[in-house]
Structure 1
Amino acid sequence: MPPFDVPEGDPFGPHNLPYGVFSPSGSSERAVGVRLGDHVLDAGAAAHALGSPYASLLARPTLDPLLAAGRTAWSDVRRALTAWVTVPAHRETVEPLFHPLSEVTLHLPFEVADYVDFYASENHARNVGRIFRPDAADSLTPNWKHLPIGYHGRSGTVVVSGTDVVRPFGQRKAPDAAAPVFGPSVRLDIEAEVGFVVGVPSEPGRPVPLGGFRDHVFGLCLLNDWSARDVQAWEYVPLGPFLGKSFATSVSAWITPLDALEEARVAPPERTHELLPYLDDAAEEPGGYDLRITVTVNGHVVSEPPFSTMYWTAAQQLAHMTVNGACLRTGDLYGSGTVSGPAERERGSLLELTWNGRDALELPDGKRTFLEDGDVVTLSAWAPGPDGVRVGLGEVTGRVVPAV
């Protein structure tokens, strides 16, 4: 089907237009692309052909210049792209600049500057508390309702969807063992998350307020924060995740601009504790997003976590991340933390789905507690769009390969 003739209701129609970076078939050259249906538009070539003032931002091998250009440029470029793929007068010029999605190679679309991961789902936090602290009076830690808990990750191991994930090595210690052992993780897990991509940097020493979220954050993508639970359990006291998390984080090849998700904005869950002023969003515009995520293992659906249940919003996470004066850089990526809903089939990690290995999942190819070599995990999602049309999010997939 010609690229202009996207079927009505296609989740990657002209109401969406996510950004990525691709190489055409038979070429190693990289270009900024915009997805329309099952095709990719060479955005730089289109901008040049149509005399766009933003051609210099789009004719690059990475999204970084566009990310840094700011909200006015983001909106202008999006309006122009929408016209280029919908106005019949542009068809003759633009149609030859499309490439079939099946014939291109997709790349990590931006250079990841810093990577931070949060812990923003109350359902997930309570499940983890019940698993590891079953006798505690409260399954949440005392600080959880007062601030978005997070940790600094490793930006150099953020990889694009489709990249194999090598089973990591590390120390692990069984509860009844006298000493730790070293070897490949035997409790490899996933975490279904949403990642937020920072475009405009901030000045050192100047916190970004809640209202500055949309001036700094360009868009979002699906994210899988792979986790070696046995390594994590032995190392995380007292400083938190390290080698159990730093070996791989997979992100989608497509970044959905926030402007494509206006109809998906929702209020977060009711807050049960009074928030400090820099986190108090009662007077702010709705900060949650209604994203419907699906998790599959080897093509079999194991969970459908709803992002609308997340207690802490992306705007609050950004405000907290910078409140001490830490500055943002173009390409900063921060993850929401595992997305889990209240129902058993809405849990975003195998840790929760199997209750730390107690209750194996029944898959067509056998039982699973944690991931086996050869397993392929895919996250996909959609959000409500204009006039009832869905906005598709680019999927993120990864295959577990044996430790080396």
Structure 2
Amino acid sequence: MATLTGTTRTPFAGPTLDEIEAARDVVSRVAEHTPMETSRYLAEVLGSPVHLKCENLQRTGSYKIRGAYNRLVKLTPEERARGVVAASAGNHAQGVAFAARDLGIAATIFMPRGVAIPKLAATRAYGADVVLRGDTVEEPLRAAAEFAAETGAVLIPPFDHKDIVTGQATLGLEILDDVPDATTVVVPIGGGGLISGVACAVKLRAAQEGREIRVIGVQAANAAAYPPSLAAGEPTEISTVATIADGIAVSKPGVLNFEIIRDTVDEIVTVTEDDIARAMLVLLERAKMVVEPAGAVSVAAILAGKIAPTGPTVAILSGGNIDPLLMQRVIGHGLAASDRYLKLKIALPDRPGQLARIAELLAEANANVVEVLHTRHGHDLQLSQVELDVSVETRGSEHRQLVIEALRTAGYDPVVDYE
């Protein structure tokens, strides 16, 4: 890692502190200085103070407006006249559309056909011409590049550009303004635009103060391109697996972002789908925060024990744009991952009173029944049997096991359904 020596200049590829300070003056025209909240619950989990930087409350619902505006404001009059084009599954699209509207620039945004309806509606509401193309974000990216080549529109990349990085870096300055004694900053990573900017800002500011600060990146395990890229010494493309954290599902790091992250970020960790769902549930219940999956991975890393306590820690909640239907599914998944929701399949003798007996046992175990399906058509059932699919609320691991044992003690053989 590069050694910083208390100067505004930088020995790595990112922006200088002077450039970031100048960008803050520009970005503040449209971006809010978002709240910094403390979390007692996460502090107890980590063993040191935890603060939440709430970019989920930012205008357009994420930090992306910072980099988008900083890039667009630097376009020449001739470039502005040609318009801009971008590709995104949601947050970058909204940031570019909002910035373009504010600056009077025509914007065309390519989005995948399966984009969440709220993100699509918001992008159109900001005045952009939205074109749906393909089923993954790679196809809109190719379409946007082709559109730029054909029309002369300026392509606005989501992360791999110095102006974008510098805009995102303004978030790092806010973090140290609000928590000047922060020792660790935990940042979600997709392509790397946010963490490369934040790392530049906090490392340079800390160096001026004669101290060090850790920056830890978090990726979804199903879309973690940075660990193999850092091991290979260059940006490496991976095959991503479906993840609920679609906002950071990037198959290859940005070139500039990789260089900065290689030289400034102390550690990169990954979190599972269960970890992410559990973090979203904790944020909803404990912090009263609606955070999208990609924006919750920093908290997921804390809950999963991936972050070591070294002093005041800031976890960035990078976005809050989530489809309500996905939120509904994630809450159910998060409850199951936290052992607070249990689905059982129970083979029963086909005679009167069995359903009532199961209900009685569950009531005695203080398990709240959510849903019941009684059928004679289950797999591997004998002619004299029926199958009961029952979903119940439980209070955690111990209560979950108590419910299962109560059924077994009564002579039943419940099978946990993990689907």
The structure in which a higher percent of residues are helix is 2
Greater Rg, structure 1 or structure 2?
Answer: 2
RCO higher in structure (CA 8 A, sep ≥6) = 1
> Shared fold by TM > 0.5?
no
